[in-house]
Amino acid sequence: MSRRAGAIVTSCLVLALGPATIARPDVALEAEHIGSVETLPMPPAAHWVWVADPLLERLVLIDLDSGRTLGMIDGGWGIPTVLFSADGREVYVPETHYARRSRGERTDVVTLYDTESLAVRGEVVIPAKRAHNAQPGGNAALSDDGRFAAVFNMNPGTSLSIVDLREQRFAGEIPTPGCSLVYGAGARRFVMICADGALLTVTLDDSGQAVSRVRSEPFFDSIADPVTEKAVRVGDRWLFASFEGMLHAVDVSGDAPRFEKPWSLLSDDDRADEWRVGGTQHLAVHRASGRLYSLVHQGGVDSHKDAGSELWVYDLASKKRVQRIELSNPGITFLGASLEFGQDWVWPFSGTYDALLSLGGAAVSNVTVTQGDDPLLVTSSAFSGALGIYDATTGEFLRRVQTTGNMISSSIHAPWGGTR
């Protein structure tokens, strides 16, 4: 461009923009403020839930009462795993990161988040071998006093990585051959499920080192009727359901686990009609009322991962079923994006939105229940970006809550509002 042409272009720009846009050394321009930083009210509300999003590799915090998304945190590569401090002040996320997103050097960490701000408080690097699987519930656990986190490793040898959360340091790795997953069982104890149906109890000292590893006798038949890993906890008891619907309660209050006599979630008539437990996370428990919720479906042998069409409710004290809840579809997505038409929207070929959802049946894969005096049941489907909300006492379907769009719900966590 010639010098004359450049001068003409500059003059045109000055005329077009006007004199107000020309920088003047004697005039201070006000800084532009973009966005805002907010904090969450503390303590966390009982109706706040975290939903895992493996597609976008994050954890999303949802207020079930307002339907609003309150915030989100990184989950690292793969399906997110998450742990919560008892006082609600911190969130701990075991994460995997690759230098080139899906390849390259791998780094595993446990990241500590502040619940109020969702800001990172710190991170601890752990061995790059933590387990990844479709159901992250047993992949990590906290000691009952909140001091240590245990992260399950499998590569293919099994072990635990122990993180001291108070000092934010890696305490060490504990080999656990033949035993997998991990569950909290005391201030310095964890238990793991072994391949032969036994439990391995791992006890730590105050530095996070293993002082004992004791294996029990088998408490279930791992060939004839294995338990699923999707256990729920009430006080000092872990509740495991088997493929055939037997409930095994394990008391972990002592140095060694105590196995209670199993009882059946299904009657003979239920079995004749091929009712079975099943789903990605098929158990939930409201601890104060002692009510256990189990997803069930009608299906054949080895259908324990199939989605549920009903939710059966049991009183743990009497070991009897007290309620059956017929489920609705939590919602639908298209190419990973949630679709919300409104309850009165009419589709010309199927009628209402509810009728459209019913084409695929209830298809509920995950269930959890909030704690507190007015508990809510929360359901999701394996490939859905929406949550189905029910009154946990009456079983009444209340509403659907859309999440943040690109959601494939793999697990839902309602960590607040009551004691363990």
Digit-coded pLDDT (tens) for 299-330: 988 888 888 899 999 999 999 999 999 998 88
Question: Could you write out the DSSP letters of every residue in 231-289?
Answer: -EEETTEEEEEBTTSEEEEEE-SSSS-EEPPPEESS-HHHHHTTEEE-SSB-EEEETTT
Which pLDDT does position 196 carry in this prediction? Answer: 96
* 291: CB partners within 8 A, 6+ apart: 285, 313, 314, 315, 316, 322, 392
Burial class (CB in 10 A: 0-12, 13-18, 19+), 268: exposed
List the one residue out of 210, 209, 200 whose CA is nearest residue 180.
200
Q: Contact 258/246 with Cβ under 8 angstroms?
A: no
Secondary structure (3-state) at 46: coil
- How confident is the model over 230-258, as pLDDT tens digits? 999 999 999 999 999 999 999 999 999 99
- CA 387/CA 327 separation, integer angstroms: 12
List the one residue out of 159, 140, 156 whose CA is nearest residue 148.
140
In DSSP terms, 416 is beta-bridged to none
Which pLDDT does position 23 carry in this prediction? Answer: 54
* 7: CB partners within 8 A, 6+ apart: none
- CA 389/CA 359 separation, integer angstroms: 19
Which pLDDT does position 355 carry in this prediction? Answer: 47
Which pLDDT does position 15 carry in this prediction? Answer: 47
- Amino acid type, 139: N
Which pLDDT does position 136 carry in this prediction? Answer: 72
Structural tokens at position 114: 């502040």
- CA 384/CA 331 separation, integer angstroms: 6
- CA 72/CA 387 separation, integer angstroms: 16
In order of 58, 144, 281, 339, 405, the CA distances from 335 in angstroms are: 18, 41, 23, 10, 10
List the chain residues with pLDDT less than 50. Answer: 6-10, 12-17, 20-21, 335-336, 343, 345-353, 355-356, 359
* 71: CB partners within 8 A, 6+ apart: 40, 60, 61, 118
Which pLDDT does position 307 carry in this prediction? Answer: 85
Which helix (H) or strand (E) is 15 found in, with range? helix 3-17
- CA 50/CA 415 separation, integer angstroms: 8
- CA 141/CA 132 separation, integer angstroms: 15
- The DSSP letter of residue 44 is P
pTM for the model stands at: 0.86
Domains of the chain: 265-420 (2.130.10.10)
- CA 123/CA 387 separation, integer angstroms: 31
- Amino acid type, 107: T
* 271: CB partners within 8 A, 6+ apart: 245
